[in-house]
Amino acid sequence: MNDPTRPAPEYFGPEDRPLLGWLQRPPRPQGLGVLLCPPLGHELIHSHLTLRALAQAIAGRGLPVLRLDYAGTGDSADPPQDGAPGGACPAWLASIDAAIAHLQARGGVQRVALLAVRSGTLLAATVAARHPDVAALVALAPVCSGRRLLREWRALSASAALASTRGDGALEVAGFTFDALTCAAVEAIELGELRWPAALAVSVIDRDDLPAAERWIAQLQQAGLAVQHDRHSGLAAMLDEPQRHVVPVDAVQACADWLARLGPAPPAHGQARAAMPAPAPARESAAMGGGVRESVLRIGRHKDRRAVELMGILAEPTSDAQAEPGPVVLLPNTGPVHHIGGHRLYVDLARGLAGRGCRVLRFDLSGLGDSPARPGEAPGAIYGPRAVDDVAQAVAEARQRWPGQEIVLLGLCAGAYHALKSAVAGSRVARAVIVNPLVYHWKDGMTLEAAEGALQAVYYRSKWRRLESWKRLASGRSDLRLLAQVVGRRLADLAGALRARPHPATTTVAAPRDDLAQELEQAAGFGTRLDFVFSQDEPGWPMLQQQAAAAVRRLRGLGLLSVQHLARADHTFSTEDARRRLTACVVGLLWPHAVEPQAPADLAVALASLDMTRQGS
């Protein structure tokens, strides 16, 4: 990877709690570096494409830029759970401090601008108000009040179909848990109460449909700061679910242009500009604690000239002395979500399995997350025509690095589809764990909305049956307007699904045949065990029964296929409890002693039986 403007993942910060950032460093950096401070929780995942677009636009203006994962978010290590005042909030603020120092050391700059999105503004502004090297603050669709953010979180928590009732004051918000200490610390941040350095340059880009920063801007101006204030359209879509996310191009360009105009700062009177030291070496591997080490892994081109260098993060045990080492596990994207997985599921799953002896690679397919698209192909294809080739590239990488090791494909939703199709195509992996597939065949004219229609119907049936959300509204513990907006948007999405509108992010791929039963037997014939895992009311389970019931019975009898059901879990495992039980289910599948003793001991015997069954059918 010789292009310095291409995003380079690097570890930095504390040795025992490392952070991960994505650095883009132009050959001749200007006197200003830019640190991207993402929003918190689910909005970090939703805004990933826009954060990448911001970094690319800023680097294109000649400014080094670092895209940050706070402690306990993205690919960074988790902060200690010590019950200290502020919960995770002090660790998030310390992450920004560490990222500033890293950007200065690696980017060749002294002054830094903080560009924050939504709730990230609360953190970035807190640091900008006290850090001597922060020269500018850009707030994109900012949240200016911690109290307002907590109202939103409570409304979202109350609207969840499977929300758990916790007695410890923690909130589960769209798949992310914030403990009571963290909630209290975030709620206490009010931008209007901060004291600002007089030299700080500020740009605020607000929503045109629902502006939220007028009062804060007036307070900044009263403090004597010059504030650039604009409103742009499309900022709501920037925070929509990943499959509906739209990058606000005009707002992205406005941010990059304003930062580029700041230019290098003149030296103080009578002083020469200090020479910046040579960049420090990058770290591409770090210990995550709990006996797990993670490394950046670039999955190479091999012999296919049309292949691209896929980006992944490898989690592995820090010691080879494992009582019962596990296989190599490959995790392709869960739909359009980048390699951390929905609700950060893949990070927790990878580290949990690595702690038990597995090597686990979570990676982005071409055109998704942080992997580039193949030449001539558009990015963002969830069911892309070359996804099986990407998985084969990862399998080949694993075989080259760890010859003789068993390889397991594990995927959720669209990742489950790709795991199954890769097994059918002859990847010859030991096992494919197929979690909540929405479709088994993808064809021209299909849309993402149509595939989600049945799932949305299940969601709303459970939602309307659950009265606790509305009791919270009546008691004043939730914001009725915010919850109405959320529910209204979900219903609009469902209406769109029923109309089966085309979607720009949809890419079609024709299956070789629409015979699911034959595909299951073909995968098993290649020596791959198939393990299906379904949450409650998942539409993929009745579809599997409808399309391949006889094959499922035969393969289960031969020990070549299993079906697991997880109650109290939705499609994406959005609660902590559901994610823990999914991890336990996967552990039971990967370590034979934890699985029911039904399978024949000799796989060759089972395959021979399968061949005889085929001949007799």
Contact 563, 452 (CB under 8 A): no
Say yes or no to pLDDT of 206 above 70: yes
Give CA–CA dist 271/256, Å, rounded.
29
Pull the structure tokens for residue 489.
């948007």
What does the pLDDT read at residue 518?
A: 96
What does the pLDDT read at residue 511?
A: 39
Which are the contacts of 487, defined by CB distance < 8 A and separation ≥ 6?
Answer: 159, 463
Contact 152, 480 (CB under 8 A): no
What does the pLDDT read at residue 160?
A: 75
Give CA–CA dist 230/203, Å, rounded.
8
Read off the pTM. Answer: 0.86
Say yes or no to pLDDT of 344 above 80: yes
What does the pLDDT read at residue 142?
A: 97
Contact 246, 504 (CB under 8 A): no
In the chain, what are the domain boundaries?
8-145+202-262, 151-188+449-502, 294-444+507-616
How do beta strands 359-363 and 310-317 pair?
A: antiparallel
Q: What is the pLDDT confidence band of residue 465, given thresholds at 50, 70 and 90?
A: very low
What does the pLDDT read at residue 476?
A: 40
Say yes or no to pLDDT of 432 above 90: yes
What does the pLDDT read at residue 497?
A: 36
Mean pLDDT to the nearest integer, 338-365: 96
Give CA–CA dist 402/406, Å, rounded.
9
Fold: same for 8-145+202-262 and 294-444+507-616:
yes
Look at 33-37, 108-112, 169-173, 512-516 and tell me which has the smallest mean pLDDT: 512-516
What does the pLDDT read at residue 501?
A: 32
Superfamily of domain 8-145+202-262 in CATH is Alpha/Beta hydrolase fold, catalytic domain (3.40.50.1820)
Give CA separation, 291 vs 16, 80, 354, in Å.
11, 15, 8
Q: What is the pLDDT confidence band of residue 468, given thresholds at 50, 70 and 90?
A: very low
Q: What is the pLDDT confidence band of residue 82, given thresholds at 50, 70 and 90?
A: confident
Q: Among 3.40.50.1820, 3.50.50.60, 3.20.20.150, 3.40.50.720, what is the CATH number of 294-444+507-616?
A: 3.40.50.1820
pLDDT, one tens digit per residue, over 128-145 is: 999 999 999 999 999 999
Give CA–CA dist 427/527, Å, rounded.
9
What percent of the chain has a predicted confidence (pLDDT) above 90?
Answer: 67
Instruction: Give the SS3 label for residue 324.
Output: coil
Say yes or no to pLDDT of 456 above 60: no
E-only strand ranges, 221-289: 227-232, 285-289
Mean pLDDT to the nearest integer, 561-589: 95
What does the pLDDT read at residue 323?
A: 52
Look at 159-173, 255-269, 364-378, 489-503 and tell me which has the smallest mean pLDDT: 489-503
Check residues 179 and 492 and name the one with the higher pLDDT: 179
Give CA–CA dist 509/381, Å, rounded.
10
What percent of the chain has a predicted confidence (pLDDT) above 70?
Answer: 77
Q: What is the pLDDT confidence band of residue 418, given thresholds at 50, 70 and 90?
A: very high
Check residues 273 and 357 and name the one with the higher pLDDT: 357
| The total number of residues written for the chain in this structure | 617
The structure tokens 């989690």 sit at: 315
